[in-house]
Amino acid sequence: MKERVVFSTEQGKMCPECQRAVAACVCRKGAVLPTGGAVRVARETKGRQGKSVTVVRGLPLEPLALAQLGKTLRTACGSGGTVKEGVIEIQGDHVELVLASLLKQGWSAKRGGG
Q: How far, in Å, CA of 83 to CA of 90, rounded?
A: 9
pLDDT of residue 81: 93
Q: Give the integer Cα–Cα distance in Å for 63 and 66.
A: 5
Give the mean pLDDT of the chain. 82
Going from N- to C-terminal start, the domains of the chain cover 1-31, 34-111
Cα distance from N-terminal residue to C-terminal residue, the chain: 37
pLDDT (tens digit, 9 = 90+) per residue, 50-106? 899 999 998 888 888 899 999 999 999 999 999 998 899 999 999 999 999 998 988
Class assignment of domain 34-111? alpha beta
Close Cβ partners of 20 (under 8 Å, ≥ 6 residues apart): 14, 26
Position 3 scores a pLDDT of 72
Q: Which residue has the higher pLDDT, 32 or 57?
A: 57
Q: Residue 8: in which H helix or E strand, if any? A: strand 7-8
Contact 61, 32 (CB under 8 A): yes
**What's the pLDDT score for residue 2?**
63
Residues belonging to the chain: 114
